[in-house]
Structure 1
Amino acid sequence: MNTTAFVTFIVVTFLVALISWIKTRKHKITTSAGLFLANRTLSFTAVGSALFFTNISAAEFVGSSESVYINNMTVMAWGVSSVFAMLVVSEFVIPVYLKGAMSTTPDFLESRYDPQTKKLVSFLFLIGYLVNLLPIVLYSGAVALNGLFHFSDSWNISYGSSIWILVWCIGLVGSLYSILGGLKAIVISDLVLGACMFTGALLLAYFGLRHVGNGDLQHGIHTILTSKTEHFNSIGKTGDAIPFSTIFTGMILMNLFYWGTEQVIVQQALASSDLKASQKGIALACAGKLLGPLLFMLPGIIAVHMYSNMQNTTEVFSRVVSDVSPPVLSGFIAAVIFGAAITSFSPGLNSASTLFILNIYKPAKEKKGIALTEANMLKSSKIFEMFASLLAMFIAPLFIFSNDSFYTFMQKINAAFSIPIFTIMFVGFVTKKVPPIAAKIGLGFCFLAYIFTQMVFDTGIHFLHVLAILFVVTTAIMLIIGRLYPMETAYVAQNKQVVDLKPWKNRYWVNGLLLLIMILLFLLFSPAYLASNP
């Protein structure tokens, strides 16, 4: 372990925490709205950075670099194509949530269907967070930090043991952030870490390309542009990690779910001061997603030219940072990785707590005639977050036994929870009379069918195409039930007038520019340009 790198890591991490404390020390959390939604006061820069950094965990660095190294840049599609989904959500979905003053995305299901559907989906969300989202954030952060500092060698323990220790370190710090600071503290950290991330990415690119060029930056650039260029390809074929056709089937559905119904993401937009701030914030987050190839893919390209055969490919990113960066930069990037893990884990905890307290715990108490005070809810939310974090810390190290590419494995697990929820949300948005029973049947059918196609029957079809098929079938089932047993009264959205719903007037040309850049990135990283044979 390099002492300079470790000291830099400690100093930068401390400074980020100090800035967050200074900015939030006068922000006293006395209400559930303050804990969960920062009292709906976030500016567009706060919303944009929170959306982007909540989405970015160490899994992005670890998984993207690994996928580029062992395959190519087809994994880029997840982040870059999400821009389209984000803009659709900004224009059509967020206004509905803000109009109804919703605190959680299942709140829409209660107003559209019934309280039982809301509770059922809240349970499904919580299961996904506790056994998938939170553990994956902890595991990927631990893998990255161990690769950067080689704790297993320094402590003379096994790789698995070092992952266990680091998982618990990240989990405990992340829990404190969420429990003590709430959403406001998380957002402040996002702003600071966002600036650090872009700085670190540029410096890593500089030193990495110099290393490939034997000290000459221009020679390094020439080398990666003229040899092994197949790794630049983002237009996937059948055998690639992400076939290009899947962008138009299951991937677009998962992205729409993630940015439009995933509580841990949408909660950042729901905390905005008004619709204009929310839409501008989403556009800002889109700009960040378009920088994904620079932030997350380039280290994998550099690794292709440095290592011919790595055994543990999950450490591709960490190995590049350790081998090409001066110690100060290694420590700085380690702090960013640690921060990324914290500011993905903490919002996940905060959102899980929001769902549990507002959608499950509070209604259960009120059904028994018990009126909860704000103090009761704050205390209960902290207890639940401690339980959730402990469970995640026990589960996270088990991901070491996964055989798939880490990024692919993560997305397959996400799909089991995302598409069933998205389907009933989608039908709820586009219809007015499909009844609650259709949502329950659709949810159960889609979830079980996906599990069977992935764990019981080998369909031979890419899991993203399977998702699209199940979406269509489930939607058809719900529409048939809606035709046979329609609701007596059509659903009408209510305007609770909590925030200003005036939209951002410049959104159309900004959104058009973002979509154009998205298309140009796919052209740039294709056989027509960078991935062509020299």
Structure 2
Amino acid sequence: MEHLVFTLVTFVLFTALVGIISGKIVKNSDDQKTAKGYFLAGNGLGGFFIAGSMLLTNLSAENLVGLSGQSYAANMSGMAWEATAVIATIIMAFVFLPMYLRKGYTTLPEFMEERYGVGVRRMVSILFLIGYLVIGIPVCLYAGAIAFEQIFDFATVFGISEGMALTILIVLVGIIGALYAVLGGMRAVAVSDTINGILLVLGSVLVVVFGFIAVGKLSGGGFIVGVKDVITYEPAKLNAIGGKNDPVPFACIFTGMLLANLFYWGTNQVLIQRALGAKNLKEGQKGVLLSGFLKMMVPLLLVIPGVIAARLVPGLTSKDFAYPSLVARSLPWPVVGLFCAALFGSIISTYNSFLNAASTVFMIDIYKPIFNPNLSEEATVKLAKKIGWGFAAFAIIFTPFLDVLSTGLYDFGRSFTGFYNIPIITMVLVGMFSKKGSKLGAICATIFHIAFYACYKFIFPHIDTPFTNAVSGINYMYIYAISFVIMLVIIFVCSKIAPNTKVFDKSASRNDGYDMTAWKHKNAFAIWLVSFLVYEYFIFSPAGIATENKNVVRIAIVTAIFVIETIVLIVKEMNKRKKTA
């Protein structure tokens, strides 16, 4: 009990310390009286804070619990969600972000109106709101509750059922998180996210290190023995090249997952709102690309722990218990409080990001233009905070009714996001690169996808015919790709019926003097990121360490090539800087 008290006290102290430090940093620069100040940090975010905030918003308890759960039960193919996101961040930095910032958008639905019309803007806004309130926020709260229950075991401590313990934790996390999200603006959120991100990375490293040590102790050794044990005991678990029945089949990376990552990193209001708050294009691109690099480090921090847990705590009742069980089993109890503070920070970051994005979309894209166009900036912010409280209350009430453990937390969140992510990324891609897309095509394609995906999720599994059985057996990421192609056909056909009449000028620019100078190192950094991605997949494959007969010479040669490329790129960029100095 004394360990539990110490852990709770250190958890509270570290959490409070982050809040105090964040408050001091933004004390004289956090404008909460204007919409731009509250929603976009007054366009004052630097690359470091953008990257930190984007990473921690994405590095939620859902990822901590879900990804390690996948590797615990199967293999490392789930790392594709993290590692391959770098391709989407590159496209965001090079293509999407320059257009967003040049236009001066606050929300993605503003682009939809300029490209397709006001009706499509409202439709996309509603899709975002439903997705955030029914899927995004509840999954975040549920994941946080699972993590804390497995670490602290409140059900046993207080003599209550596990379901009751989870419900209480959901309510507590929801209320505390709402305080962060509603009372703080985007600048405060970005700063606290970055601090919590540093803590979470440090904590995650400690989990891996002490996890290996705990495994090593099983054989009377330490860290090195533990690493050798995990690598040699069941090498197939280290394979990131997913097969047909693995969490992420390898071919999905080039089909539905690419679309899902493009949506998440290039169009999802929760993520892009950070980049839209950049002080200039250079800092925006730097922040987005840096977040891509950090994403490729995530498999080492979140996926490897599942493999360690499979060796250390086999036979768990749910694969989603793997990460928190590893924390409880391996971390020294004086460190658990610090880790829980960082974990809590990640939960709050994702939670308040969803709340902030939801209130932004509601106010900017629905309430103000429809019901009160003349609402002042200060009144807009005040009402947005009240709306945020309402959204938080809804999520807290709704979340306990979710049943995610039967399918796995991560698969649940990703698969149900499919109801709105594919229509949105389809409309954005068509809107940017083709003149064919029209209001009719956007609406018809969206209706088709929602109906088709609903049949795939809820109706076809209960109908026993060759067609429905075949469709139901397809991985949901392949369904993403199939629906995407059909939506393109629908948009093309509708453009013949009702041609596009909207004139969208991609070159038109805002007139507030915003600096659109690009980051001069972006090309070299993007090349290196792609190389790092290939190298990472090589290491975690049968050609690397995911085999009993490891070819050490081959691994050494490939590693040397990657190191040489890295040095060459660094030297070239340093010379470029000297010439321009």
TM-score of the superposed pair, with normalisation by structure 1: 0.97
CA distance 1:308–1:442, shift in 2 (3 Å): same
CA distance in 2, matches of 1:35, 1:512: 35
* Aligned twin of 1:480: 493
Shift of 1:220: 0.7
Shift of 1:433: 4.3
Q: Deviations over 1:444-494 (max 9, x none)?
A: 111211111221114121111111011011011101222343234642232
* Aligned twin of 1:421: 424
* Aligned twin of 1:97: 100
CA distance in 1, matches of 2:420, 2:403: 22
Contact 1:68 1:75 in 2 (8 A): yes
Contact 2:31 2:38 in 1 (8 A): no
Q: Identify the match of residue 509 of structure 1 among 520, 524, 539.
A: 524
Matched, 1:343 2:349: yes
* Aligned twin of 2:298: 292
CA distance in 1, matches of 2:187, 2:501: 43
Contact 2:147 2:321 in 1 (8 A): yes
Q: Identify the match of residue 338 of structure 2 among 332, 339, 342.
A: 332
Counterpart of 1:279, as a letter, is Q
Matched, 1:22 2:28: no
Q: Identify the match of residue 150 of structure 1 among 153, 156, 161.
A: 153
Q: Deviations over 1:172-224 (max 9, x none)?
A: 11111111111111111111112112211222222111110115111111101
CA distance 1:233–1:273, shift in 2 (3 Å): same
Q: Deviations over 1:248-286 (max 9, x none)?
A: 110000000111110010100000011111100011101
* Aligned twin of 1:208: 211
CA distance in 2, matches of 1:238, 1:487: 41
Contact 2:60 2:346 in 1 (8 A): yes
Shift of 1:310: 0.9
Shift of 1:4: 2.3
* Aligned twin of 1:274: 280
Shift of 1:24: 2.4
CA distance 1:489–1:162, shift in 2 (3 Å): closer
CA distance in 2, matches of 1:290, 1:314: 22
CA distance in 1, matches of 2:210, 2:56: 24
Shift of 1:402: 4.3
Q: Identify the match of residue 474 of structure 2 among 453, 461, 473.
A: 461
Further displaced range: 444-453 or 42-51 = 444-453
CA distance 1:375–1:18, shift in 2 (3 Å): same
* Aligned twin of 2:321: 315
Contact 1:99 1:497 in 2 (8 A): no
**SS of match in other structure, 1:372:** coil
**SS of match in other structure, 2:184:** helix
CA distance 1:327–1:400, shift in 2 (3 Å): farther
Matched, 1:13 2:27: no
Matched, 1:373 2:368: no
**SS of match in other structure, 1:496:** coil
* Aligned twin of 1:527: 542
Contact 2:116 2:502 in 1 (8 A): no
Further displaced range: 267-276 or 375-384 = 375-384
Counterpart of 2:172, as a letter, is C
Counterpart of 1:516, as a letter, is S
Shift of 1:312: 2.9
Q: Deviations over 1:104-125 (max 9, x none)?
A: 0111111001011101110110
* Aligned twin of 1:354: 360
* Aligned twin of 1:197: 200
Shift of 1:321: 0.7
Matched, 1:393 2:408: no
Counterpart of 2:337, as a letter, is G
Contact 1:9 1:334 in 2 (8 A): yes
User: Comparing both chains, which one has the higher relative contact order based on Cα–Cα distances under 8 Å and sequence gaps of 6 or more?
Assistant: 1
**SS of match in other structure, 1:501:** coil
**SS of match in other structure, 1:103:** coil
Contact 1:30 1:374 in 2 (8 A): yes
Matched, 1:250 2:256: yes
Further displaced range: 308-317 or 348-357 = 308-317
**SS of match in other structure, 2:483:** helix
Matched, 1:364 2:370: yes
* Aligned twin of 1:445: 448
CA distance in 2, matches of 1:338, 1:344: 10
Using the aligned pairs only, state the percent identity: 33
Matched, 1:160 2:163: yes
CA distance in 2, matches of 1:179, 1:466: 37
TM-score of the superposed pair, with normalisation by structure 2: 0.89
Contact 2:31 2:185 in 1 (8 A): no
Shift of 1:28: 4.2
CA distance in 2, matches of 1:110, 1:402: 39
CA distance in 2, matches of 1:489, 1:463: 34
Instruction: List 4+ stretches of structure 1 deviating above 6 A.
Output: none
CA distance in 2, matches of 1:28, 1:442: 40
Unaligned runs of 5+ in 2: 462-470, 550-581
The 5 A counterparts of 1:225-244 are 225-244=231-250
Unaligned runs of 5+ in 1: none
CA distance 1:434–1:4, shift in 2 (3 Å): same
Contact 1:49 1:191 in 2 (8 A): yes
CA distance in 2, matches of 1:385, 1:178: 8
